[in-house]
Amino acid sequence: MKENLSFDVIVVGSGVGGATFTDYLTRENPGLKIAMIESGPYRTKEHFNQREIDMTALYYNRGAVLAKNLQLGIAAGNTLGGSSAMYTGVSFRPPKSVLKNWKENYGLNFLTNDYVTKSLNEIEEDISVHELPKSWDNQNNQLFQAGAKKLGIPVKRLKINTKNCQQQGFCNLGCTTGAKQGTLEVQIPRILKHGVQLFCNTEVITVEENKVHVIVNDAPKGTLPNAMASGSYEFNAKKIILAAGVLNTPAILLRSTALRLKNKNIGRYLTLHPAFNINGIHSKTISNYRGFPKTVYTDYFSETDDFYLETSFYFPGVTAKNNPGYGELHQEVMKNYDKMMSILILAHDKVEYHNRITIDKKGKTVVDYTLSKQSKNIIVKALKEATKIFFAAGCEKVLLPASNKNPLLKDDVNELDKFISEKYLNLYKTPLSSAHPQGGARMGDNKTTAVCDIYGKVYGTNSIYVCDASLFPTSVKVNPYETIMLLAKWVAENLLKSP
Ligand SMILES: Cc1cc2nc3c(=O)[nH]c(=O)nc-3n(C[C@H](O)[C@H](O)[C@H](O)COP(=O)(O)OP(=O)(O)OC[C@H]3O[C@@H](n4cnc5c(N)ncnc54)[C@H](O)[C@@H]3O)c2cc1C
């Protein structure tokens, strides 16, 4: 039987950008015929089993898409719900200083205080964003607060988007109870009720004006079956929305040579919000593996030194990867898993033309990103401040990726400059990670420096739009999902207004 694959709107990707966009579009325009095309399998909360080794299947490349220079691994979701299926749910509004920059230097004038506040109030209510009570702080979160207090560093409480959370702590392996209010739980059920047709295991290879070329792959064992037989298909639509995430939206545009786009900015200005998860070893057992992983953070250094620190928790496999050393030293470290205090450092990297998503000869995504000297210095400073917090909180040892001495001991705290420096930051031994890639199809009112106009339409096309984190002109400097939702709402509201 020949399928009828003609739609009013096709949305590529079911993550934060794609599902939020579709939700807003269907609310305002219930009669539209919409297809959502998702390259990942159809999994729901019943498919998650809290086993690290199994659940890495939710991610691209089992959890780390390596940069070309092997210095950094990017975590992103390749499953229904995109990266919202395994995000932690830490909810930040975009900082005012970032929005000011986006308005003044990139023409995103729609981001008025009124629009941003009204939209985010509505979004946060819809997805249950709230502060977690103090009674939920596990020992890792308590120790972070105690250490920071001793050093006079103010700590703030994080906001999270959960409903009836059971504090199981497996957010990054998929929430088995559906408490996390990502797109799997909120927007996707709603848009399916509105009649949106969902095509999973369906990878968009290229787009043309009003056309999408896809390959449908077999559904992996244990996931829900496909809507169509495996094979190649052409879909048609009046409007095509690319929300395939930063690793893939720019790659689709670069592969789509039939569009004849001459825009040199496609894939460029990639920022990664590079992160290190670091550990101190405490004298006492720390039940960091119980309770909600993150309840507090400090932005004390954000404006002056371009980083912030969050509490964190990772599963044994990722923890082993994050800790420096080999053989006996590494084994010794891992034996102390139940005494580990964890801090995540997040660096605000500068937006630079040379950092980009590109494609190889087969059209596959290549992350071409080099950490600048400035970003390295930010990380070194962040490592020093986090080390002070570990020791102030009572840790006996600290393990660092940028130290010539591992582990650092309590007395070393007085000589951190001697032990922690850029020259000891060996990213081949302990690679950085990123879960917040941004940019690559940046939005702006100037087509010589941007890829999309301020309505998300790709310059030089009539029917192709972008609606995901690729739109960010610079790093948003906080966990990005709320800002992606804000832009998705805007693109949806304006889609049918433009010709
Ligand atoms: C482990 C982890 C923890 C995180 N924690 C937080 C947090 O606490 N707070 C926060 O703000 N952010 C967090 N993030 C980041 C946040 O999840 C992302 O910024 C956000 O999901 C990005 O939205 P997006 O729409 O750009 O892409 P995604 O949500 O990644 O969605 C892209 C979708 O497109 C699909 N796709 C890709 N290529 C194709 C193709 N060719 N054809 C069809 N479909 C395709 C993918 O499978 C995916 O489903 C976290 C991310 C990870 C990985």
> Ligand 1 centre from 84 Cα, in Å?
6
Q: What is the CATH number of domain 132-162+275-348+372-426?
A: 3.30.410
Closest Cα to atom 23, ligand 1: which residue?
A: 16
Q: Read off the pLDDT of residues 455-467 as tens digits, 9 standing for 90 and up.
A: 999 999 999 999 9
> Ligand 1 centre from 243 Cα, in Å?
9
CA dist., res. 402 & res. 355, Å (int): 23
Ligand 1 atom at minimal distance to the Cα of residue 479: 11
Q: Read off the pLDDT of residues 161-171 as tens digits, 9 standing for 90 and up.
A: 999 999 999 99
In the structure encoding, which two tokens stand for residue 421, read together? 């420096």
For residue 315 and ligand 1, the question of a CB distance below 6 A is answered with: no
What pLDDT does 1 receive?
A: 45
Q: Where in the chain is the domain with CATH 3.30.410?
A: 132-162+275-348+372-426
Contacts of 233 (CB under 8 A, 6+ apart): 3, 5, 202, 213, 214, 215, 216
| Cα 431 from chain centre | 17
* Pairing assessment for the beta strands 6-12 and 231-242 based on DSSP bridges: parallel
Nearest CA to 87 out of 170, 20, 19 is that of 170
Query: 6-128+174-270+438-495, what's its fold?
Result: FAD/NAD(P)-binding domain (3.50.50)
Looking up tokens 């039939």, which residue turns up? Answer: 258
Q: In sequence order, what E strands does 23-174 have? A: 34-37, 65-66, 72-74, 129-131, 156-157, 159-161
Residue of 22, 52, 59, 83 with the most ligand 1 atoms within 8 Å of its CB, for mutation: 83
Q: CB–CB of 15/23 below 8 Å? A: no
Q: Where in the chain is the domain with CATH 3.50.50.60?
A: 6-128+174-270+438-495
For residue 86 and ligand 1, the question of a CB distance below 6 A is answered with: yes
For residue 441 and ligand 1, the question of a CB distance below 6 A is answered with: no
Task: Give the H/E segment covering residue 367.
Answer: strand 365-368
Low-confidence ranges of the chain (pLDDT < 50): 1
Residue of 78, 87, 247 with the most ligand 1 atoms within 8 Å of its CB, for mutation: 87
For residue 21 and ligand 1, the question of a CB distance below 6 A is answered with: no
**What type of residue sits at position 344?**
L
CA dist., res. 328 & res. 423, Å (int): 24
| Cα 107 from chain centre | 24
